[in-house]
Structure 1
Amino acid sequence: MSYRALVISEANNMFIKEIKQIEFQELKPDCVRIKVLYSSLNYKDALSSSGNKGVTRSYPHVPGIDAAGIIEESHSNLFKKGDEVIVTGYDLGMDTDGGFGEFIDIPANWVVKKPSSLSFKNAMLYGTAGFTAALSVKRMVDHGIKPEDGKILVTGATGGVGSIAMSILSHLGYHVVAVTGKTHLKEQLLLNGASEVIDRSDLTQLGTKMLAKPVWAAAIDTVGGEYLSSAVKSTAYNGCVTCCGNVASPDFELNVYPFILRGVTLYGIDSVQCTMPLRTKIWDLLSDGWSIVESFKTIQTVSLSEIETQIDLMLKGKHSGRTILEHHH
């Protein structure tokens, strides 16, 4: 018995992508086998597909850090055959074969029961990006920041996490200021929930002093680097900043003044090892009160044979919107 998957192989220092048949292995104790119906394309998948050893150490490998599907076989008392589930984070698609295969064998404690009001496809519209965005917003809400407290800054607003965070915040009634280097996409950002759009240079100019004028009640940073330090320096008294990405840089320069003079809190957001009770809560929110499925404007659904083209576009920086992989079993 075998199933189809996009397999990345290493040969002569080259990485080759091809669709192959993979033989089923015996399912280990405390693990489940999931028939994957949908996955989604993330930047981490593109890196894994091009041989980035920071993401995936050993090849051959099947990428796909997100998966939604049905339990096919269970060696765990947590799930039974037929359960509808979602998997994001942990080691899926990193060094464990992921959602770009028709089946995945994984530890049962990585798996979340899919809320009944959320379709498999919509779960993957959110995927890790939506999950991370919702984690960031929840951290800000739990800090006590309310819509009437003032403007919320979102960096990397055209990216996966930034755009979804912006839509959720707008849906919850917050005034969102979107930061982007792609100012030609201003109209799209305004349609997606931004109340204002600023160029990233406008933000970094705020970060040149030790402490900037307080402008934001809170900030959701998805890019790191100088944008994160500028956001912290310009956040108002008792405000908070969440940090979940490093595409600008993993390093940032900062002093203690925003923390000791303004009581600003910096929260790290981790979607990979996040605890199961919080995971379940986030998916419940996304399926109900925080549902923003209608705000996804550019969605394309592709088959396994078409995903390679999308990966190549993403690696060239020419990919936009959400790409969903649908497995045709």
Structure 2
Amino acid sequence: MGSFKAIVIDRGEDKKQTVSVRQLTEADLMEGDVTIKVSHSTVNYKDGLAITGKSPVVRRWPMVPGIDMAGTVMKSDNPDFKEGDAVILNGWGVGETHMGAYSEVARVKGDWLIHKPDALTPAQCMGIGTAGYTAMLCVLALENAGVTPDKGPVLVTGAAGGVGSVAVAILSKLGYHVVASTGRLTEEAYLKGLGAAELIDRNELSGEGRPLGKELWAGAVDAVGSKTLANVLSQIKYGGAVAACGLAQGFDLPTTVMPFILRGVSLLGVDSVMVERSKRIAAWQRLATDLDLAKLESLTKTVNFDDVIQSAEDIVEGRVRGRVIVNIGA
């Protein structure tokens, strides 16, 4: 194809960031062995930070943001993919150091791609996106640590956000008693519709805590970090675990060794950006079976390409619940 539309982040000599919609050609794209016609993307918190410039996500300029994409292979020099294949991509520095998803055409390394699960549409895959895929990695980490539904309640922090919403939906379908922590208690109907059995105010966890608290949770998915994570760790039952994947409150962790050495608690770090392909495929296979697609629909909204910049601002300001699907070139 000739030119195509893309969102481009740039900055001048004064290091001030600009964001604009431009027409690009394939000559503007970076190296890769697979060229994709992008049909859908999504808006993650990291995308919001990149577009607003509120955190140093972008490390190369100019940059096309967007860390998630779904689309169809146009050209391939990679033996694992051929023209017409439906593919998805999450992470790998796309939208940070390699031009990303907010473009009608993308060129990437085939090693970063996986084939789209047959049971999911491209739009559904982006409704899940990195946030939902990270939630599934957290659930898998808890399962591998022996946190099963019979062990007791599990906590999800930042529950009305992207990771939290999908984590609540998955865990509830798997039979866990899910307690959702949120700063938006007005979202009670939304979160209970996803499967939360109870809600607690995030203020119960976000302040100064004690080295050890009452044992309340068999496990937790934490997307908040900082004092919240410290408090969650202090309340995990003996032998339980926390899957930590975010830093919405902060990247510090003001805790002690007490939960680890007195209760055998495990802190499981969950990264979604550089995870090997086999684990990605396993997570997406589980998403295709363990995520109620009706609940996925209830936690997503769809916007057009021209709405991406506003959606990025909204997600950083906490005005977005659940997930945002972007129609790029559907």
TM-score, normalised by the number of residues in structure 1: 0.93
Q: Greater shift after overlay, 258-267 or 177-186?
A: 177-186
Alignment of 1:171 onto 2:154: no
Q: How does 1:103-252 map to 2 (within 5 A)?
A: 103-204=105-206, 208-252=209-253
Amino acid at match of 2:46: K
Q: Distance in 2 between matches of 1:269 and 1:188?
A: 26
Deviation (angstroms), 1:148 = 1.2
Amino acid at match of 1:248: Q
Deviation (angstroms), 1:146 = 1.4
Q: CA deviation digits over 1:229-268, x for unaligned, max 9?
A: 1111111111111111111111112222211111111100
Structure ranking higher on relative contact order (CA contacts 8 Å, 6+ apart): 2
Alignment of 1:42 onto 2:44: yes
Q: Greater shift after overlay, 235-244 or 56-65?
A: 56-65
Q: Which runs of 5 or more residues in structure 1 are unaligned?
A: none
Contact kept? 2:159, 2:181, Cα under 8 Å: yes
Please tell me the root mean square deviation across aligned C-alpha atoms, in Å: 1.9
Q: Which runs of 5 or more residues in structure 2 are unaligned?
A: none
Q: Greater shift after overlay, 296-305 or 101-110?
A: 296-305
Amino acid at match of 1:160: G
Q: Distance in 2 between matches of 1:29 and 1:56?
A: 18
Contact kept? 1:30, 1:107, Cα under 8 Å: yes
Aligned to 1:18: 20
Aligned to 2:269: 268
Aligned to 1:295: 295
Deviation (angstroms), 1:9 = 2.7
Deviation (angstroms), 1:208 = 2.8
Deviation (angstroms), 1:30 = 6.2
Contact kept? 2:210, 2:231, Cα under 8 Å: no
Aligned-residue sequence identity (percent) comes to: 37
Q: Distance in 2 between matches of 1:179 and 1:30?
A: 41
Aligned to 1:6: 7
Deviation (angstroms), 1:101 = 0.2
Deviation (angstroms), 1:57 = 2.0
Q: CA deviation digits over 1:255-306, x for unaligned, max 9?
A: 2221111111110000001111100000111112x12221132433222222
Q: Greater shift after overlay, 313-322 or 163-172?
A: 313-322
Q: Distance in 2 between matches of 1:83 and 1:203?
A: 46
Contact kept? 1:303, 1:328, Cα under 8 Å: no
Secondary structure of residue in 2 paired with 1:25: helix
Change (3 A) 1:235 1:74: same
Q: Greater shift after overlay, 22-31 or 300-309?
A: 22-31
Secondary structure of residue in 1 paired with 2:27: coil
Change (3 A) 1:275 1:229: same
